[in-house]
Structure 1
Amino acid sequence: MTTRQRTALLLLLGSTFLLAADLSLLNVAIPLIGEQLRFSVDNLQWIATSFALTAAGFTLFFGRIADLFGRRLLFLLGMALLAVSSLVGGLADDPAVLIWARVGQGVATAMSAPAALALLTITFPEGPLRSRALGANGAMVSAGFTVGAVLGGLLTDLLSWRWAFLINVPIGALILLLAPFALAESKTAARARIDVAGAVTVCGGLVALVYGVSRAGDLGWASPVVLGCLAAAVVLLVAFWMIELRSAAPLASVWIMRKPTVRWGNLGGLAAITMQTAVIFLVTLYLQEVAGHSPMTTGLAFGVVGVAAFLGGVTAPRLIGRFGYRRSLVIGLALQAVGPAGLFLFTDARTSLTLVLVVLSIGAFGHVTAVVSYMVTGTSGLPGQEQGLAAGLATMTQQVALAVGIPVMSAVAVGRIHQLEADRLPTAEAVLGGVHLALGIDAAIVLVALVLVATFLRRRAQAE
């Protein structure tokens, strides 16, 4: 790498870490925020859901905007909005102000994340350098999410939940100060045109999807609200596909969505991120409600798992260099399945924490390997003018997966827990039964994705 490439990589990785940490920084503090700002119980979920809705819903749109008007420009605007929104959230004394601050953070993530990934792929040509850069990026995603959970707890206990917002301000300001000198502007040479109909339908469809899945945990899957949102999501996303078939300047090229590496790479990434996010939630439930460990012990346990995830990000580029992105994605998914499958098969109330950490660490190593491999897969073999779109798709996959993983698996677990409690089982045994069912389904979904990716990307490789 050249000196400029190293500097650009450092800044982009810093922004990736910051954006990933924001996904988990507030999770521990949500009950305290609700108590101090007088949130009603029904509205507490909006502290997390408002961020997820906007981050998932607008990522693809802003990925295209970055292509047309400048990736560095949109990255800088996103980081500026993140700093301002975080300052507003940190100073908020009213529930509505805090929710709007979270909406701003979500929009900022939708602007910055695809632009940063596109800048990364443009800065490093396809090959070993890009694989190394994407490997480090994948490690930062996992490390940021893990460190965010631990740091959020520490900031809340030692200082105040407000610092979970305010910590973004100086870091964002530093990135804004250095980025204009380290990052070169890039954009497509095509005439700037916006597919308004496509933007409205895809944003509306993704928002309806994430909202419906998020509400399923408390309302139930049979709720008219949930079913209505999911039906609206299907209608809007089908409409989006039909619009893109006919649009002269499509938001998402049908060609790029039909490309096997983009399609199957993103499917592998969707399964990997959705299911690993759910594993973190389910293991937290198991360690505290079944095994009786304290929140501090749980946080330290995830710190150990975070080290394994970081090692996965460092090792993944070498695996890709040796085995190729298809095999590396399959290997990553296979190792990731070890985590939920091992916990499903071997855990009970007396299982040692060491065994839990071993299977979780193997799963975390495989997870980050899969994440890096799907990013390489989903952005490979594309011209420069399509990199922002491919990066937007990959980032949208990540945001949607982070938003829906916990609601889907928590609904499965909670439904089973209520069923077992109705059969008069003790609470700890009921929780264990719910966690076991969700972990089994989690492992099965990862393995199904593995088979699909291995089969269809192998056919592509044979065709080539």
Structure 2
Amino acid sequence: MSSAGRYGRKRVLLLGLCLFGLASLAGGLAQAPGHLVAARAAQGVGAAALAPAALAVLAETFPEGRARVRAFGVWSAMNAAGGAMGVLLGGLLIEYADWRWVRFVNVPMAACALALAWRGVADSAPASRGRPDVLGAALATAGTTLLVFGIVRTDRYAWGSPVTLATLAAFLHVERTTAREPLVRLGLFANRSVAGANAYNLLVGAAMAASFDFVSLHLQRVLGKGPALTGVMFLPFALAVIAGSVLAIALGYRFAPRTLLVAGGTLTAAGFAWFGLISADGGFATDVLGPSVVAGAGFGLCLGPVVSTATAGVAAHEVGTASGLLNSSRQIGASLGLAVLGTAAQHRTGEAVTPEALDAGYALGLRLGAMLLAAAVVVALLVLRRSGPPACAEPGERAEPGERADDGAAVSVTD
């Protein structure tokens, strides 16, 4: 069971916002690299608490039907809008102010979000007082960290080292045998929607995080753009994500989420393949603008449907867990994607630092990102069930017997 389900969704949401804001303040005041790393770790803990809690609130408030499609579409559009503002504001602050303000700016934002959540989110009673699975959480964190570290330092440590594999195996054993409430009930993955959405999200997260980094580095290190101008050049991508998220709301009334995931993943893969054609003597208009619009629109088309799919057919007391799994799969995918694709790009670049050599590495990484997105489309086609459009139920209503949930799976934990 997730912390949101265990201690109450509103309580965890507020706690996560407080921790994120305070850690951002500490990061801005950091006087040594170790202080900054510790603050970033605390930020991650705060974000890990508030993200699934926020998704759980949405999933509980809009359990099914058109209102659910609209809610997750608006959530996706707001995420994209925040990303657009973050990229632009971050570039401006780095170039014209100081890097510390990239941390400080989070503090008033967290305070505003805290006030809105305090007034606008209904409280929920804790679902259980059972003992938390501390050992499972520690093993999952250690295993994932060792896996990413092994990929990044593959020249010295094998990513499939016995220590890494043993840690991950111990985590699975603990989750199956623990007398406490497991961190993740493994039976949850018997739900094809949960398994498929998380696999899809992991692959998309891996491709997006790495490719975002490659495009940013290409603009700055190959084309010679400054941080502020790079932020401005990312706006077309962010605006296209917003447009794709809004389009997903309209199309979500007519098509099943599986269809939108396939279409959005295919469109995003095409955009990244286009990105893979970048050249050292190119420019923003020729190499970046077009693929930004295509990839951004496709990514926006995926955001809402993948969330609704990952939480559909899940028992009410496990919605928080399903939301946490989705957030974790994205973060793990981002870490693995940066490690794997970054390593591949570095191997292609070699020791050279010329624009041509750097461009070759970034282009390879972007093409590999397109391949990961193509794999995500295959997962959606093979794992997720075919279905019709979601039922027209509003919040508080239930679908009639025989109707399908909006992920195309019957409302059953084991479907």
Q: TM-score, normalised by structure 1?
A: 0.77
Q: Tell me which residue corresponds to 1:438.
A: 365
Higher mean C-alpha deviation, range 308-317 or range 177-186: 177-186
Gaps of 5+ in 2: 388-407
Q: Tell me which residue corresponds to 1:304.
A: 236
Shift of 1:154: 1.1
3-state SS, counterpart of residue 189 of structure 1 = coil
Q: Tell me which residue corresponds to 1:72.
A: 10
Q: Tell me which residue corresponds to 1:134.
A: 72
**CA distance, structure 2, for counterparts of residue 231 and residue 166 of structure 1:** 41
Match of 1:347 among 256, 264, 278: 278
Shift of 1:352: 4.7
Q: Tell me which residue corresponds to 1:242.
A: 173
Matches within 5 A, 1:64-463: 64-187=2-125, 189-213=127-151, 216=152, 219=153, 221-224=154-157, 227=159, 231-248=162-179, 249-344=181-276, 346-355=277-286, 356-418=288-350, 421=352, 427-458=354-385
**CA distance, structure 1, for counterparts of residue 190 and residue 230 of structure 2:** 42
The superposition leaves residues 397-427 of structure 1 with CA deviations (integer Å, 9 ceiling, x where unpaired) of 12222333323222111110117x4xxxx82
**CA distance, structure 2, for counterparts of residue 102 and residue 433 of structure 1:** 31
Supply the AA of the counterpart residue of 1:78.
G
**CA distance, structure 1, for counterparts of residue 364 and residue 370 of structure 2:** 10
Q: Contact 1:268 / 1:370 at 8 angstroms: preserved in 2?
A: no
Distance 1:146 1:254, change over 3 A: same
Supply the AA of the counterpart residue of 2:357.
A
**CA distance, structure 2, for counterparts of residue 296 and residue 175 of structure 1:** 26
**CA distance, structure 1, for counterparts of residue 224 and residue 44 of structure 2:** 34
**CA distance, structure 2, for counterparts of residue 156 and residue 452 of structure 1:** 39
Higher mean C-alpha deviation, range 115-124 or range 157-166: 157-166
Supply the AA of the counterpart residue of 2:280.
A
The superposition leaves residues 155-178 of structure 1 with CA deviations (integer Å, 9 ceiling, x where unpaired) of 233332222222222222233334
Shift of 1:368: 2.3
**CA distance, structure 1, for counterparts of residue 9 and residue 261 of structure 2:** 28
Higher mean C-alpha deviation, range 184-193 or range 353-362: 184-193
The superposition leaves residues 184-208 of structure 1 with CA deviations (integer Å, 9 ceiling, x where unpaired) of 1225534433223322222222232
3-state SS, counterpart of residue 107 of structure 1 = helix
Shift of 1:70: 0.9
Supply the AA of the counterpart residue of 1:370.
C
The superposition leaves residues 333-365 of structure 1 with CA deviations (integer Å, 9 ceiling, x where unpaired) of 101101221122x43334452242112211111
**CA distance, structure 2, for counterparts of residue 405 and residue 187 of structure 1:** 38
> Among the aligned pairs, what percent are the same residue?
35
Task: For CA contacts below 8 A with separation 6 or more, give which structure has more relative contact order.
Answer: 2
Q: TM-score, normalised by structure 2?
A: 0.86
**CA distance, structure 2, for counterparts of residue 189 and residue 65 of structure 1:** 10
Supply the AA of the counterpart residue of 1:394.
L
Higher mean C-alpha deviation, range 237-246 or range 453-462: 453-462
Supply the AA of the counterpart residue of 2:377.
L
Shift of 1:294: 4.3
Shift of 1:454: 0.6
Distance 1:68 1:307, change over 3 A: same
Shift of 1:135: 1.8
Could you say which structure has the higher helix fraction? Answer: 1
Q: Contact 2:240 / 2:300 at 8 angstroms: preserved in 1?
A: no
**CA distance, structure 1, for counterparts of residue 409 and residue 325 of structure 2:** 25
Supply the AA of the counterpart residue of 1:305.
F
Higher mean C-alpha deviation, range 153-162 or range 441-450: 153-162
3-state SS, counterpart of residue 322 of structure 1 = coil
**CA distance, structure 2, for counterparts of residue 76 and residue 252 of structure 1:** 23
3-state SS, counterpart of residue 293 of structure 2 = helix
Higher mean C-alpha deviation, range 297-306 or range 244-253: 244-253
Gaps of 5+ in 1: 1-62
**CA distance, structure 1, for counterparts of residue 28 and residue 132 of structure 2:** 35
Q: Contact 1:273 / 1:367 at 8 angstroms: preserved in 2?
A: no
Distance 1:333 1:93, change over 3 A: same
Shift of 1:292: 4.3
**CA distance, structure 1, for counterparts of residue 5 and residue 232 of structure 2:** 41
**CA distance, structure 2, for counterparts of residue 298 and residue 88 of structure 1:** 27
Q: Contact 2:257 / 2:309 at 8 angstroms: preserved in 1?
A: yes
